Structure 1
């Protein structure tokens, strides 16, 4: 028996991250964080706070049995805390909403509601959430931006009058001192630990943690491995993972460790070199086109030289920022020149959301660069076949790059030829 819960809301910017952050810090010695959906940013916050890698749960990419296995496999602590995506039902069209994942896993959901300038209407919102899908997992509610104890009591009395299956766990007062003294927007990765501790104490001060723990008791299920079996690969793979290339699904790293004889982490920001005995290189997504990131890249001469030498005879796989750095230029910034591609940074995103490709892979793309290619694309990405299909992956000799982020465990046989 463990404890497990999901924190969701009616929309983004309602307080999910504030509450998740505070609970992760409070339970940091015994918690495993999870993120619903393909996001890379929240898991970085989670890991910074809890000192434990956060695992993405995405039905659209990994399918239902895959998500069940991932949750069971990584729920190796006393408490598993999932952070939802957008609003509770957002993503249902792709089977990847907080509703879909919590229903699949049978995990209790706590809804955080912004109570600014409202009290009885909040009960109507909860009723709408509860009735939209009768098989929802909503078990409790926390209210954000409460002006006083009296304000909370008004809301609590109404909720308890209207529902016998929704627990009021408490509230977060408005104008928290910990928030006013930082630039949290949330940029928690830039916060000192004492600030996070202060925030956690302020947020949880008026929340009944004993009641919260009671509704989060969970019987973990052992799941048979649902993914295609991959034989052990007797090769050495180097993973470029650092401040510039920080978008790495934790399970992708674990998958590589399970299936390659040796995995090395290379930090390009520290100007580390690609090991000479590495058979292939995986460059993670992240940021390379920004001024700060590019300045770090310019100071990595040894790393650049070693990667160019490696690419002469061995495989390189770049994902998003990893694709861009393999090109020739991004605006006026010179890249490695291993793929004959020119990139332009735009003010508006070019792709955002789930995409499928011609190889039958589902993944996620979110980028502001457009590309001009001197070679034929390796595959296109599309949300609907036949509509707005554009090249999104390119290969030149041993070097391959793609805009698509995907989860290796669910798609390895389809990408293997580019990586091995």
Structure 2
């Protein structure tokens, strides 16, 4: 039996849904509930905050990149929980124009599919009764969408709150809470999103503060009472998690290499793979008995000098690559190249396993879903396999001398110039793998 759930959404990014989600997760966990978090869409930072807040692993759910069976397999991780709290992405209805495996990737897709009512976080700064028009539009645009109500955010005063509530009452919109302005509770950000959870020495105190803030201004009983769900999507979907590309996988894990989707690691472990973490920033080489080295994305451009000076890591990586596969995603791909130019324009020598030079000095955003057909194998993922993933970075390719790894297109099927690279058993790409199919 699936637990009832809610999905915290908003009209747009920056409305406050992450703070509300974290506050709800921690407050309900403090009340003794087993709360299962999820994140809609391709975000590899928020799930770590969710895990810290709820004490349970959080997983991405993506209706564009994942088929129904994979969505069911991942949501099954909520079995045994008392309640699901999922965090949306961007605006509630924001997705791609051409549906993918199971939808457009919009938060509304997930809400409809799972039957999780939407709690809309509404930034009401600069308006009063007019906020009800926005809420009513979101509540009624799609009659199939379950809608629980709104949590007002950035309320200026008690009078402001009364006026907004008056408008909501007239529109028939339930108000589940009203959060006053609190600039001191904002989480710091950098160019790819929030500063990572592991980088906050005071994270537990921050989460406790968020919980207290939400508890003081949100009707938690009403939130719990609004939760609902559909029956499980597919009771036999456990086999739909991604298969491991090798038996013993050495994965770089530290603040420079942390962007990997939790469902991948979870699926690999469930299939019997051994995960062998190591830290390049601590100058650790990958395990000598590893069958595959996987370098996730992250922030190598912020640590390029340390990586270039990590001689044991680089030597171990090169030794592994002489006989066994190595794969890098985004930041990991950059580290496999000849050099990385940081924001200040300084060039740092990298592993030299691919003929790639990248620069962060000339920033240009690359963002979007990716479809790829492999032209060469990535460890145990065979040539010809079709992958879905997502690309988000600001780095520019200065030179790329190796053969392309894949034929890559965007969500609309248009060719993408960043094809990845392959040299022997060393492969890399700018997109982060979400799912793979033969």
Normalised by the size of structure 1, how large is the TM-score?
Answer: 0.88
Q: Is 1:327 paired with 2:337?
A: yes
Gaps of 5+ in 2: 342-346, 375-385
Partner of 1:418: none
Match of residue 205 from structure 2: 194
Which of 167, 170, 191 aligns to 1:161? It is: 170
Q: Does 1:342 align with 2:365?
A: no
Alignment correspondent of 1:213: 224
CA contact (8 A) 2:389 2:432 kept: yes
One of 87, 91, 100 as aligned partner of 2:91:
87
For 2:244 and 2:408, how far apart are their aligned partners in 1? 30
What is the match of residue 314 of structure 1? Answer: 324
CA distance 1:135–1:316, change in 2 (3 Å): same
**What displacement does 1:314 show?**
0.6
Unmatched 5+ stretches in structure 1: 415-420
Counterparts of 1:230 and 1:212 in 2: how far apart (Å)?
A: 34
Question: Post-superposition shift, 1:308?
Answer: 1.0
> Does structure 1 residue 50 correspond to structure 2 residue 54?
yes
Rounded Cα–Cα distance in structure 2 between residues aligned with 1:230 and 1:191: 33
Between the aligned partners of 1:231 and 1:389, the Cα distance in structure 2 is 26
Q: Which moved more, 1:125-134 or 1:219-228?
A: 219-228
Q: Quickly say closer, same or farther: Cα 1:346–1:352, change in 2 above 3 A.
A: farther
Does structure 2 conserve the Cα–Cα contact (< 8 Å) formed by 1:72 and 1:220?
no
Query: 2:366 corresponds to which residue?
Result: 351
Distance 1:231 1:289, change over 3 A: closer
Q: Residues 36 and 113 (structure 1 numbering): CA distance in 2 closer, same or farther, change over 3 Å?
A: same
SS where residue 159 of structure 1 aligns? Answer: helix
Matches within 5 A, 1:207-246: 207-218=218-229, 221=232, 223-225=235-237, 235-246=247-258
SS in 2 for 1:120: coil
Match of 1:364 among 371, 381, 390: 390
Which of 133, 145, 153 is the equivalent residue of 1:124? 133
Which position in structure 1 is the counterpart of 2:377?
none
The answer as to whether partners of 1:319 and 1:404 remain within 8 angstroms in 2 is yes
Shift of 1:196: 2.9
Q: Counterpart of 2:37?
A: 33
Counterpart of 1:406 in 2: which secondary structure?
strand
Structure 2 CA distance for partners of 1:42 and 1:302, relative to 1, 3 Å: same
3-state DSSP of counterpart to 1:62: coil
For the Cα contact (< 8 Å) 2:297–2:332, is it kept in 1? yes
Answer 1 or 2: which has greater helix percent: 1
The DSSP-based 3-state class of the residue aligned with 1:119 is coil
Q: Distance in 2 between matches of 1:228 and 1:21?
A: 29
Write the distance in 1 (CA, Å) between the matches of 2:430 and 2:239: 24
Structure 2 Cα separation of the partners of residues 15 and 263 of structure 1: 35
Change (3 A) 1:358 1:329: same
CA contact (8 A) 1:68 1:104 kept: no
CA distance in 2: counterparts of 1:196 and 1:91, whole angstroms: 29
Matched, 1:113 2:152: no
Alpha-carbon deviation of 1:159? 1.8
Alpha-carbon distance, 1:333 to partner: 1.0
How many Å separate the matches in 1 of 2:355 and 2:20?
46
Distance 1:388 1:370, change over 3 A: farther
Residue-pair matches, total = 405
Q: Note the C-alpha offset of 1:168.
A: 1.2
RMSD: 2.6
Map of 2:14 onto structure 1 = 13
Per the TM alignment, residue 380 of structure 1 is displaced from its structure 2 partner at its CA by 3.5
CA contact (8 A) 1:170 1:207 kept: yes
Compared CA separation, residues 285 and 183, structure 1 to 2 (3 A): closer
Which residue of 77, 86, 90 maps to 1:73? 77
Map residues 131-170 of structure 1 onto 2, 5 A cutoff: 131-163=140-172, 166-170=173-177
